[in-house]
Structures are given as structure tokens and as C-alpha cells.
Chains A and B, each alone.
Chain A
Amino acid sequence: MTRTGAVEPPPAFRQQLLAAIPRLRRYARTLVFDAAAADDLTQTALERALAHWHQFDQQRDIAVWLVGIAHHAFVDDRRRHSRVVVTEPDELNEIHDSLRGATSDPGLRLDLIAAFDRLSVEQRELLLLAGVEQFTYAECAQALGIPIGTVMSRLSRARVALRLLLDGDGAPASRTLRRVI
């Protein structure tokens, strides 16, 4: 709604934005599983970025700035639709227990992505940003609006949790099922 400024974003900025879309989409996909909903979130972030383009400091990595915008859009949205419950790290033990049932086939090991998807959204986004995107801890803290200490502890817990999920080997099969896969 900042039409008063009436200064359109310069083409160079639009170009930067365009180049950052794939990474922004990937971040959104880490927050929301549904691809269409993730693209809606990406769209919201791009709209906000265009409306506030003058706030972007060219010294910074535009991906960090955009992730911050998307993160806050996601948090706003989640607050509005409080029906959506987010799995907290404390629930991990419960999840781990349920996994023992889920992987009843000894031949099946929990897939990396399946394990990743079971982490809390806060853990997933940090594993993506610090691990995959190679944001520095300071950049993560800036984008997510949390202290660096929280980035550090949450990230290390996320790594431990992911390993726990991947190492969780199944109990013997409780029931057999004909399968052709």
C-alpha cells in the first residue's frame, strides 16, 4: 500500500528478485509441504518485497532478506490460522515411538526426506538455511528474527533429532501384509 512513494522498483532490483525465486520457493517448500501453498507463500513474499524494495540494503544477500520476509509472512499466516499445529521438539520422543511402528518392515529404513519432514518447522528451516543455503549464523538470526544463541542451539538439536530419526530401526513386524513392491 505504499503507492504514495510512487517510485517503481528499478529493473536491476527486479532482476535480483527473479534470480532469487528458486531459492525462495525451496525455503517456502520447507515450511509448507503443499507445493501450491508454498508458491502462494512465495508470492506473498515477492509482493511484500516489491512494496518495500527501497528497504533492501544492496550490501546484503537478497536471499537472506527475502527469506526473512517469507518467514514473517509464514508466521503471520500461522498465527491467523491457529488451527495449524506445529510439532515441537519436545514431541520428538513421541514421534520416535510412532516411527518404530511405522517402519515395521526391517527392509525399510526411514528416508532422509521423510525424517526431515518429521522435524519441527523451526528445525527444518534452520537445517536448510544454515546447512544447505550456507547462511552464516548471523544471517540466520537476522532472517528469522532470533538471537544467534538460539540459532546455534536449535540447529544442533535439529541435527541430533534428524540422526535419531534416521537411526531409528524398526521393531519386528507385528503383522504381515502381501505386497508387490
Chain B
Amino acid sequence: METNEHRPIDDVMLSAWLDQELDPAERARVDDWLREHPADAERVRRWGADRDALGARLGSVLAEPVPERLGQLVWRGTPPPAAPSHTRSRGWRLAAMVAFFVVGGVVGAAAMWVAQRPSALMSEASDAWVHRAALAHAVYVPEIRHPVEVNVADSPEADRAAQEQHLQRWLTKRIDTPVPLFDLRGHGFELVGGRLLPDALGTPCAMLMYQHQGGQRVTVYLRKADSSVPAAFQYEQEGDVGLFYWVEGRTGYALAGSLPRVQLLALAEAIYAQQQRK
């Protein structure tokens, strides 16, 4: 290992030292180096701390129960019949609930919602609406082929502007409140499109979906508010879906996403700022 005598002690070396991937001679050389260079020693110590913290944070997945279909697959050796991807997700129960609500909702389920929340005013009983936003998020976000009714992302570049205008006009008209297509590209989120959601109280709600380059999706909900009393930002967590919601003007807003709260807040702030400019 004569050549290694001249190998510079750089980040690659230090990183390999941390992983105990150096041979004894190199290792001793880095040991000496770290004793003489406290700043480097501190950097390596932090890398090690990050590694441990990451292990602790990513460990939660290991504790989750293994989805039945995966266990069955291993035992039977044959994959179960392909299911639509949203029924496969952890949120399938939520999905089934909302599917029921959305499809047959006008009759039974709607009555249930109303009974539970006689006056679901955003300003006082916003949890009903926010809960629905969380449910809709759980249903549509895993959808690969039909996440939205009007798809902007799939239209050719030339038609995109026209499609966006169509989406905006359609939703604005149907929910009777302006639906700005917020621009979240500064945060890496592109508009996928939107859909109209029924509401138990007969007030439809608009959903806009955004997708990050990494595949992560967030949804924004707009609804004509029952009261024009502004309501400050509130945060709620439903399972792994985080929600920010607020009322401004005569519109209720909710933002849902499985993102860390800080990241979600940044998006909520962007939406808030853009809505202020309207």
C-alpha cells in the first residue's frame, strides 16, 4: 500500500474512516490527522451523529406491520390480482370511506356528516371540512392515472396555458369563489390539475394537486366560506397527512400533504402570499 502513503486526507477518506473501511495503516494516519485537526474531527463527529439520527428516524418503517399482500405473495409465490393502486395503500380504509362518500354520498353519508356537524362553519367547526380534505387527499394522491379530473401536467406544452385557464374558470364557476392556480414551482411543486369534490352541505369544494419532482404530492382545497371572519393558520395531523387551513376573504383554504410540518408551512405561506395578491 505504498501508493496510499500519498493519498490525501480528504472527505472521501474521512467518510471511509467513519465507516471503518480503511486498512489499518490508513486508519492510523487518519487517527493522527483527526487529533491534529479538531475542525475535521468535529465534522466527522457530526456525520456520525447524522448517521445515527437517520437510523433512528428511518427505523419507524421497520416497526410497521408488513402489508398482507406482500406476506401472501411470498407464501403463495403468485401475486394477488392487481388492485387499483389506491386500494393498496395504507390509507385504503380511508379511501374506501371516501369512495363511499363521494359516490353514494349525496344520500346516506351526507346525512351522517350533517348529523355529526349541524353547522360546519369553517370558523368554528372547521374540523369536518378539514377532515374531508384529509380523506380526499388520502384517496386521490396515490392515484397514478386519474389523480385529477382536469389534467394540466399531461397536456402538451402548447395547450397548457389554455388547459390551466379552463381549469381555473371551471372550478371558480362551480365553487362560486375565485380559484387561483397557485404557483409552487419555487418549492419544486408543479401543478398536476384539479377536481371538484362534493360536500355534505351542498357546497362543492375545489381540489388542486401539485407534484414534486421526487413524486411527492400535496393537495390544496378551496371552499366558499360560510363566514367571512378571517381565521388564522391552524395545523392538524391526520395519520401521516399534515394539514394547514385558514380562512381569508370569503374563502376557506386547506393544504394537505405527507410532508414535515416545516416544509408544509413553507408551501402554505407561498399560497397565502399569492392569495393576498389577488
Residues in A lying within 8 Å of B, measured CB to CB: 8-9, 14, 17-18, 21-23, 25-26, 29-30, 32-37, 39-40, 42-43, 46-47, 50, 84-87, 98, 101-105, 108-114, 116-117, 121, 127-128, 130-132, 136-137, 152-153, 155-157, 159-160, 162-163, 166, 175, 177-181
Give every chain A residue within 8 A of B214 (Cβ-Cβ). Answer: 33, 86-87, 117, 121
Classify the interface of chain A: helix, strand, loop or mixed.
helix
Known: A34-B216, A175-B269. A21 touches B70 (CB 8 A): yes
Which of the four size classes fits the interface of chain B? 35 or more
Known: A43-B73, A180-B233. A136 touches B61 (CB 8 A): no
A-B contact pairs, 25 of them (CB 8 A): A22-B61, A22-B64, A25-B70, A29-B61, A32-B215, A33-B214, A34-B216, A39-B89, A42-B70, A43-B69, A46-B74, A50-B74, A86-B214, A101-B186, A101-B266, A103-B266, A111-B263, A130-B19, A152-B16, A152-B21, A163-B43, A163-B47, A166-B50, A175-B269, A181-B233
Known: A36-B90, A177-B272. A21 touches B186 (CB 8 A): no
**A18 CA to B72 CA, complexed, in Å:** 10
Is there an interface contact between A17 and B21, defined as CB atoms closer than 8 Å?
no
Name A28's closest neighbour in chain B (CB-CB): B61
Name B92's closest neighbour in chain A (CB-CB): A36
Residues in B lying within 8 Å of A, measured CB to CB: 10-12, 14-16, 19, 21, 43, 46-47, 50-51, 53-55, 57-58, 61-62, 64, 66-67, 69-71, 73-75, 77, 79, 85-86, 88-91, 141-142, 186-188, 212-217, 232-235, 240, 258-263, 265-266, 269, 272-273
Q: How far is the CB of B256 from chain A (nearest CB, A)?
A: 14
Q: How far is the CB of B57 from chain A (nearest CB, A)?
A: 6
Classify the interface of chain B: helix, strand, loop or mixed.
helix
